[in-house]
Every structure is written in structure tokens, then in C-alpha cells.
Chain A
Amino acid sequence: MATKSNTDKITSDLLRPIRLNKSFVIWMGFLGVSLVICLGAYGLQLKNGMVVTGLGDYVSWGMYISSFVFFVATSLIGMLISAVLGLSGQKWASPLARIAEIIALAFASVAGIVIILDMGRPERLLNVIIHGQIQSPILWDVTVVTVYMIISALFLYIPLIPDLKICSEKLKNLPPFARNIYKVLSLNWNNTPEQNKIIKQTTRTIAIFIIPVALAIHTVTSWLFANTSRAGWDSTIFGPYFVTGAFVAGTAAVIIAMYFFRKNYKLQDYITDNHFDMIGKLLVLVSLVYLYFNLNEYMVPFYKMKESEAILIRDLFAVNHAVLFWSVQILGLVLPIILLLFKKMRKPLPMLVIGIMVLLGAWFKRMIIVVPTQEHPYLPIQNVPLNFKIYTPTLVETLITIAPFILVLIIITLLAKVIPIIPVHETIEQLEDAPISPKGDLK
């Protein structure tokens, strides 16, 4: 049974990180300065036009759009961990739900900003609403990403309500205004059975509703490409191919976040080795499914070698993009699957390294999907400068591409600083349900 001391220990352990400390200030300062530098690069793009990028009339989508796809992809993890695993009764994942939701919310909100970076006329953004054309996949994307962002915010907020109350009561060293904010946001939570019931039901409803929306955001994003008649994009499996790829990227992001939160917030008792073991297995599962889709996506055209696709496949397998293509497939997908089959590799540190490999691979994989197709249109590229034929990103473009990543880190850092990243109320509740120590494996 949950003893008072146990409850107190959990509360104090999980609320401990919510305070201003030196490392937080230094980290945020670093992020802030980097963001300013990147925004300066964006200022250059606004002033001189998109000529500051390596894009041209043939490869007109590059790092920005690849990043956009990556951001939407990573944000899907909220749905996988909190909704799918939650609904299917995988109790081990519940302490990770909030980390997944924070990542989902951060990436989904910034995805909208990434797409603005790619616009030649960002000041005309509202035209999308004023003159919106319902038959354009961009409209579908704007709609579903916005919906997903709102639902993700609710999915983070509703289960957080009890914790906000705990924060307002227990965080005695905070200034009164901060505790008042927690109090107002906790909507008079009093831990009554009725309230608990409402929260449970609401969370469950959102969990069910978020699944189709999450599938929609990445399917629609894949249709930005699949709905064109371009070699390499003209594919009917792009929807599921992108969705499964998204789970790989998102799981890797959660693993990396788990590692840093566990270490910096001293949460070894709550994010245990068992959690790493389980999420390592999850990564193997989603990676295998993704590998299967990769086989379909590349081997079927490779067998047929239709003219336009043959040019693209040759380029990917053996010519210009071969090094990147094989690095992404092997280091970012096949090798992690093999490594993670060993229990020794599913420990925190090796998992961090594998997670970084997979996440990097996921970003470059989007480049492999977006760029080479445009370098091989149906008609030859002639009478244009060489840089129109082969896409080489510029330094300014790279800095601008980094900006949204910094923004995501800022959002995650801030959220993880003001709310307990392991659900306090739920952890205590689980303790009441099953007589296990907080150190034990929450299976």
C-alpha cells in the first residue's frame, strides 16, 4: 500500500526539477543566442530572396521541406506512446507519456513555422485562409496539423490537471504568482472520485480521437509528394511508408529525451533500465515495419526499371546520392535493428547512441525522399546554371534550417521546467493499485 512517506518521496522527487538553476539559465542562454544567429540568417533570406539558398527551378524543395516532413513525423510519437500503448494497456509506457506528449506538441507547433521558412512570400500567409483552395493538399495539411496541435495540447493538459494542483500546493519555494498560475490552471482539482472519473474518461476519449488525426497528418504530408506524377514520389504506399517512418523517428526522439531527463533530473527511480529495455524493443518493432516498407518502395521500381524511375534508382543506389542513401539505410535503420536485438544494447547509454543515429538517419532520409526526385524530372535539365542541376545547401540555408530545432529544444526545455515530466498523480495512483516500490519495474 502507498505509505505517506512513499507518496512524499515521489512528489518531492518529481517536483525537484521545477526551480531556476544555473544550468537551466546557461542552456537557455545558449539556445537563445543560437536562435538569434539563425534568425539573422532568415533576415538575409527575407531581404535578398530565396537566392540565399541552394534551391533552384528544378530542386525547388530542399532542406526546409525535408525538415517539415521530419517535424511532422517526429510529432506522431505522442499518438503512439500515449494513445496506442495507453489504450492497449501497456502500463510500462505510462511514465513516458508526458515526455512523448511534450515532444509531440513541440514538434507539431514548430512544423507550421518550418513551412513558413520555405515560403517565398511569408507575409502572404493569410492568403491560405482568405483564398484557400480545398482541393490543394496544403490546405488539408494546414487543417490537420492545426487540429493535431490542439488535441496534443489537450492531451498534455488534461492528465496534467491533478499534477498542477500538486505543484501549487507543494512548491512552497515558488513566488505566490507562480503558485497562483498553477492553481488557476488546475481548475479546482480536488482529487474527488467524480473528478478522477472525468479526467480518465476525457483522456481516453482524446486518446481514441488522436489516433486518426495523427495518421491523417502524416498521410496528408506524404500526399504533398505522392499526389504528383514525379518519379520516386508517384507511389501508392507513401501514406503508410511515412507513418511507419514517423514512429521510428519519434521513438528515437523519446529515447534521447528519456536519457537526458533521467540524467539531469535524477529520475533513475522512475525512468528505469526496464523502460529503456522496453522502448528499445518498441524501436526494433517499428523499425522492422519501416524496413519492410522501404523494401517495397525501392525494390519494386528497381525490378522494373522504368525509364524515369531507373534514372532515379541508379542515382540513389550507385551514383550521386549513393553514400547518403546507404548510410541512412544501414546506419539509421538496419544496424540499429541488429544492435537492439541484444539486451546489452538496450541499456541507457548505448540506447542514446543508437537513438541519435536513428534520429539523424531519419532527417537525412527525408532529404533522400525529397531532393533526388526533383533532380530527375521527365524532361532533361538544360540551359540553366549547374547549381540548378545538383542541389547543394548553402550556409545561410543551413542556419535557417537549424532555427526550428532550437525552437523545439526551447519549448521542450521550458515545458519540462514548469511541469513534472513524470506524471506525479498517476505514479502515486499506480503505487496504490499495486504494492510495488517506486524503484521497482513498473511493468
Chain B
Amino acid sequence: MSEKEEKPKKKSRREFLQDIGIVGVGTLIGGSAIFAGINYDKRKKQGERIKVLTAENELLEIEKSDTTKVTKSPLKNLTYLQKEGRDGLKGHRWVMVIDLSKCRNARKCMAACNDAHHLRPEQHHINTLKMQDAKDTPAYYMPKPCMHCDNPPCVAVCPVDATFKRADGIVLIDNERCIGCRFCVAACPYSARVFNWAEPLHSHEDENLTYDVELNVPQRKGTISKCLFSADRLREGKLPYCVSACPNGVFYFGDENEDAVTNGTTKETVRFKKLLEDNGGYTLMPELGTLPRVYYLPPKGKEYPFQDKDKKEAGERLES
């Protein structure tokens, strides 16, 4: 026994170091193999051969030099829609103005929105809230879409860039990438985001639809949804669903770059800055530094009474 112990003792330190070395070298080799693999993939993408999808839906690989650019209406597949959805509409800076003196809680905006985006009744991209700021101030109705902040907390916290800010001001979601962590829900101070807790409402009918980032349809179980400023309608040159649906002239929508917003009910177009200036426009919770793109006009000189049945709910927060 003692002899056995003697023998390896001489080499011990070297062997011990050797073994640590082997583990170390192994890790290095493994690591560099992974690194090389990733690099190889990258190079392949930049290489000469590219993949093309034929009109017959066949995936082929050909030399890049053999291809010629065809100008025709692009194939609206998922990749195309995802890119289009991220690029946005060049040259625009979308804004919304909500005139609280006009809102009568008709909820046509909510209905049109839920219909367009295939939402369940309790999922609100836009939610008309009953509000009261202090005990003696009047209660009012406040439609609340996503604020499409210029400094969006939701975009900052998203770990996978599934929610993003476009150059035209809109904050969108790619629900093909969303991992469903709901950090954006936690970060949003306006409670603007909803989650697909269960199988979405029309998941069967929508099964064969190509996912459109600008409409967020089909909705996907386990992913986020939220107000999109109806980016799909803007692409067609139309006003958002909620804006067009309002019977009371609450919503103005337009382009900050053109300094023009259009009322969804009267179709009257006015100067954006002047509308804010003349009516004391403001944003929600400016102290948070989120820089909303949705502006409000105060509920001054309301043309209707606040419903008695809603008073309790409006004042709930003040009671406690």
C-alpha cells in the first residue's frame, strides 16, 4: 500500500496540473469550436450562394451572381411582413389627440379595436376609463390607448427585441419572437399591455393567416398584445380603427411632421400644435419621462353629464 502511494507522489503535482490543463484546454477547444461554427454560419450568409423561394413555393439555392432583381409586388410572407413592420412608414411621426370634453363613453372605439385585432372582450388595446382626479373635481371619461412613448419603458426592458420603437413613432410587438416573460407589462406605467393567457379568440379561423406585425393577427397564446396605432390602416392611408369608429369626435390622428391631425368623426383636419395650444393639451404622467405620443385635451365644458352609475367607480381611488 505504502509503495503504491510513493510512486505517484513524485509526479503528483505535474499530473494534477496536467489534469487541470486538460480540462482547461478542452473548454478552450469546445469554446473555439462553437465560436468558429457561429462565424462559419455568418460567412455562409454573406457568401456567394443564396436561397430563393420560387413561386411554386420551392426553396432553391443558387449563385448570387446568377440572380436579377425583379420589380413586382413583393410576396407578403412572414419575413417580409416582419421587416415591413419594423421599418415603418418613412417620413411620418404619428400622433394622437384625445379630446376628453367630447367623450361620452360610447365605447365604439373599444368594440372596433377588439374586432380588428381579434381580442377577447376583457382584452383592451384601448380602454375607456372613468376618472376623477380629486374629491371635488368633476369625473370624466378617458379613452386610454398605448401612449407610444418616445422613451418607452417596455422596449427598454424587453430581453429579445420583440417589442420595438419604429422611426415613425409607433411601438409594435413581434409575437413570433415574444417569449412571454411579461416584463413589459410590469414596466408599463399606463397598463397598456395585455397578454394572451389562453388560446386566442379566433385561433382556429386564423390558423392559415400569415402573421402581420402591424395588425398583431393572428394573436398567439402566451404572447403580448397591445395598441398598434392601427399601423396596418396607416399603411393604407386610412385612420386607425378606434379613430374612425368614434361617433363623438373624440379622436384626432395625424402626423407631427406635417403638423396636421384629422378628426375621425368630422374628418376635419386641423393644425396639431394649434389644437394643443388653444385647448391646453397635455400628456399623461409627464413626470415619468416616457414622452407619450398621445395627447389629451382637458374635459373642459363637457356637453354631457357624467353618468351617475359610473361615479362610484371613478372615485374609487380617492376613497381609500
A265 CB within 8 Å of chain B: no
Grouping DSSP codes into helix (H, G, I), strand (E, B) and loop, the A interface class, with mixed when no group exceeds half, is: loop
Q: Which residue of A lies closest to B289 (CB)?
A: A229
A-B contact pairs, 19 of them (CB 8 A): A48-B198, A49-B197, A51-B197, A51-B198, A57-B194, A58-B191, A118-B181, A120-B221, A121-B178, A121-B180, A127-B179, A131-B160, A136-B159, A138-B157, A189-B12, A192-B9, A194-B13, A380-B129, A385-B122
A411 to B45, CA, bound (A): 43
Give chain A residues whose Cβ lies under 8 Å from the Cβ of B8.
Answer: 188, 190
A56→B191 contact, CB < 8 A: no
Give chain B residues whose Cβ lies under 8 Å from the Cβ of A278.
Answer: none
Q: Shortest CB–CB separation between residue B289 and chain A, in angstroms?
A: 8
A interface residues, how many (CB within 8 angstroms): 60
B177→A188 contact, CB < 8 A: no
In the complex, chain B residues 141-166 whose Cβ is within 8 Å of any chain A Cβ: 144, 153, 156-162
Q: Mark A124-152, 1 if CB is under 8 A from B, else 0.
A: 11011011110111110010000000000
A383→B128 contact, CB < 8 A: yes
Of B110, B129, B159, the residue contacting A133 (CB under 8 A) is B159
B317 CB within 8 Å of chain A: yes
A201 CB within 8 Å of chain B: no
Of B191, B196, B320, the residue contacting A314 (CB under 8 A) is B320
Q: Which residue of A lies closest to B197 (CB)?
A: A51
Give chain A residues whose Cβ lies under 8 Å from the Cβ of B288.
Answer: 229
Q: A127-B179, A314-B320 are in contact. Are A379 and B190 (CB under 8 A)?
A: yes
Give chain B residues whose Cβ lies under 8 Å from the Cβ of A48.
Answer: 198-199
The total of interchain contacts (Cβ-Cβ below 8 angstroms) comes to: 178
A87 CB within 8 Å of chain B: no
Q: Mark B1-35, 1 if CB is under 8 A from A, else 0.
A: 00001001101110111011000000000000000
Of B122, B123, B128, B223, the residue contacting A121 (CB under 8 A) is B223
A58 to B182, CA, bound (A): 10
Q: Shortest CB–CB separation between residue A142 and chain B, in angstroms?
A: 8
A379 to B193, CA, bound (A): 13
Give chain A residues whose Cβ lies under 8 Å from the Cβ of B183.
Answer: 136-138, 224
Of B129, B130, B160, B199, the residue contacting A49 (CB under 8 A) is B199
B127→A382 contact, CB < 8 A: yes
Q: Mark A19-59, 1 if CB is under 8 A from B, else 0.
A: 00000000000000000000000000000111101011110
A200 to B187, CA, bound (A): 46
A93 to B130, CA, bound (A): 60
A379→B129 contact, CB < 8 A: yes
A189→B16 contact, CB < 8 A: yes
A50 to B181, CA, bound (A): 11
Q: Which residue of A lies closest to B6 (CB)?
A: A190
A369 CB within 8 Å of chain B: no
A380→B130 contact, CB < 8 A: yes
Q: Shortest CB–CB separation between residue B279 and chain A, in angstroms?
A: 22
A311 to B317, CA, bound (A): 8
A342 CB within 8 Å of chain B: no
Q: A58-B191, A190-B5 are in contact. Are A380 and B128 (CB under 8 A)?
A: no
Q: Shortest CB–CB separation between residue A106 and chain B, in angstroms?
A: 23
A381→B161 contact, CB < 8 A: no
In the complex, chain A residues 358-388 whose Cβ is within 8 Å of any chain B Cβ: 374, 377-385, 388
B104 CB within 8 Å of chain A: no
A198→B16 contact, CB < 8 A: yes
B320→A377 contact, CB < 8 A: no
Give chain A residues whose Cβ lies under 8 Å from the Cβ of B19.
Answer: 187-188
B131 CB within 8 Å of chain A: yes
A305 to B42, CA, bound (A): 55
